[in-house]
Amino acid sequence: MAARRDGRAGRWLVIGPPLEGPRWVDAIGCCSPPSVHRTATLPINGKFVVFERFAIDFAQLNAENKLYAGPRDQLSSYAYVGAKVLAVADGTVVNLQDERPDEKPPNFPQGYDLLQQLGNFVIVDIGHGHFAFYAHFQPNTLKVHKGDKVRRGQVLALLGNSGNSDAPHLHFGIQDGPLPYASNGVPFVFSSFETTGTVTNSFDDIIGRLGTGRGCDVCKPVVGSILASQHGSYILDGGRGGLQDTNDRAMANMQKDGTYSVVPRIPAGEVTPEKLAVIAQVAMEFGLYTKITGGQRIDLFGARLDQLPDIWRILVDAGFESGQAYGKSLRNVKSCVGSTWCRYGVQDSVAMAIRLELRYRGLRSPHKLKFGVSGCARECAEARGKDVGVIATDQGWNLYVGGNGGFQPAHAQLLASDLDDETLIRYIDRYMMYYIRTADRLQRTARWMEDLEGGVDHVREVVVDDSLGLADELEAAMAKHVDTYEDEWAATLADPERLRRFRSFVNAPGTPDPSVARVPERGQFRPATAEERERGEAVLVAGTTIPVRGADA
């Protein structure tokens, strides 16, 4: 059987391609909860069925990387209409439908029943309880009949736009039964394919090629997250600034009074007295409130937007980088002092934590990432409460994954034991890239692993056993990140155009925000409350307030 289970693929079903040729796009995939496929849950015969859970809609880009050339509502504008659809495995045709007309794009047809919505389709029994489903063929192009034996690579029909379709595409998936709608979707892996690139790194290009309008409050953040994690370039360039939230646009965390906090990176919490003096200098010069964070860093609160470049120029000149406390990226790697100082330490946890932080700094991901490295089993760095936790043993390192604190705490789970340094790094590379490529936006590693079929066992198969054959690709992707890393604030300071974003008022770029008010507390200044402002107890940081005319004036 071409669809088989073998040692390399582990428990996954391996099949051939349903199409041939270049530039086929996964237009609607399987594995994001907002996907119309993954959420298509139906009550059938007294149970819930997710018929399309792992299905993919394939469309093909033309030589200009567009779906169509010419009027969008004409099928002739889509060059891939009529493409040959191929059997993905040997099998027997058990169900089909033909003679449904092609629909006119870009609108969905109305008034169709469930069977009519499928358009022209074929279902092939490929053995072991698996059935391959293909839909939306051109009418009268089926090359097979019910009961026919087919071979992998055999032409079944020609791609069209019949049924519930707003543009020509092949709808393909594997299911556990011969009936559409009444069967559950099954995961699968293609035996081989070549990734020639992603569609774009520009939101405008994505809309121009695949959508309409200017984007909504759902799709824009999702696209922004995907582009940030897949391309790794400067977060605000290429029209991507408008896709980011307030913190990413300012490259700092906005506080309740409209000011921002500054968090320089301090790998593993190790910092020299000279660098501490620079942080103290910045805090005193700009009147910032200072606080040690839970991640072994120093947070400087109360900076105005227009002050951020001046603050960061001092920090960057002293050798600091952005700690990216504002981004969905690696925040920090926490460590104990390890064998360097501690009499219980069995490995140098500080050196390993610094190595990890410098390797994964700037790595954009679906959600924030926190690591921990403990030098012995006493676990002072709380590594099992982190997305990636490393705990020293006499033989090397134990690797734990999928932990976090916060609102829904989760203990990290053991992935591999007694690893040497290089194997540890390889496994973390694979784990992080697999998470970044498959998790949903704003999904922490703990929730992602809970949602994965097979959980930590599946992750171990992929990361340690290379069951999907992705190890080299995942490691190469991480190596590219490491090689192309650039500190975001250093890059901003070097570009006058990027610096233009850091103004309190666009029409008065040299004017600071005059509404920032402070009150003294425990030797520092904090934001004034509304009551303290009314009583005149607050100190206006940037000068007098600007009178505002009331609504009844």
Q: Taking residues 392-411, report their average pLDDT.
A: 95
**Is the model more confident about 126 or about 2?**
126
For tokens 């490393």, the residue is 390
Neighbours of 175 (CB within 10 A): 26
**Is the model more confident about 151 or about 224?**
151
Q: Which candidate, 282, 269, 281, places its Cα nearest to that of 312?
A: 282
| Phi, psi of 451, deg, nearest 5 | -80, -20
pLDDT band at 475 (very low <50, low <70, confident <90, very high): very high
Q: Can you say whether the dihedral through the CA atoms of 544, 546, 547, 552 is positive or negative? A: negative
Which CATH number fits the domain 13-190, given the four candidates 3.20.20.70, 1.10.10.10, 3.40.47.10, 2.70.70.10?
2.70.70.10
Residues 160/141, Cβ–Cβ less than 8 Å: yes
Q: How many Cα atoms sit within 13 Å of 155 on the Cβ side?
A: 11
Q: Which candidate, 38, 18, 20, places its Cα nearest to that of 28?
A: 38
Q: Taking residues 427-438, report their average pLDDT.
A: 94
pLDDT band at 547 (very low <50, low <70, confident <90, very high): very low
489 three-class SS: helix
298 beta partners: 292
Question: Counting every residue, how long is the chain?
Answer: 553
CA distance 502 to 483: 28
> What is the predicted pLDDT for the residue at 196?
64
Same fold, 13-190 and 330-484: no
Per-residue pLDDT at 440 exceeds 50:
yes
Per-residue pLDDT at 34 exceeds 80:
no
> What is the predicted pLDDT for the residue at 4?
29
With a pLDDT cut of 90, the percent of the chain lying above it is 62
pLDDT band at 504 (very low <50, low <70, confident <90, very high): confident
Give 282-330 pLDDT, tens digit per residue: 999 999 999 999 999 999 999 999 999 999 999 999 999 999 999 999 9
Give 117-136 pLDDT, tens digit per residue: 999 999 999 999 999 999 99
Average the pLDDT over each of 28-42, 369-383, 459-473 and give the range with the smallest value: 28-42
The Cα-based distances of 20 to 119, 337, 363 in angstroms read 22, 56, 34
> What is the predicted pLDDT for the residue at 208?
66
Residue type at 107? Answer: N
CA distance 452 to 484: 30
CA distance 290 to 546: 29
Q: How many Cα atoms sit within 13 Å of 529 on the Cβ side?
A: 4
Q: Check if CATH label 2.40.50.100 holds for domain 330-484.
A: no
Per-residue pLDDT at 503 exceeds 50:
yes
pLDDT band at 265 (very low <50, low <70, confident <90, very high): very high
Which of 42-46, 276-280, 463-467 is the most confident on average? 276-280
With a pLDDT cut of 70, the percent of the chain lying above it is 89
Neighbours of 6 (CB within 10 A): 9
- Average pLDDT over the chain reads 87
Domain boundaries, the chain: 13-190, 330-484
Per-residue pLDDT at 399 exceeds 80:
yes
Per-residue pLDDT at 252 exceeds 90:
yes
**Is the model more confident about 51 or about 358?**
358
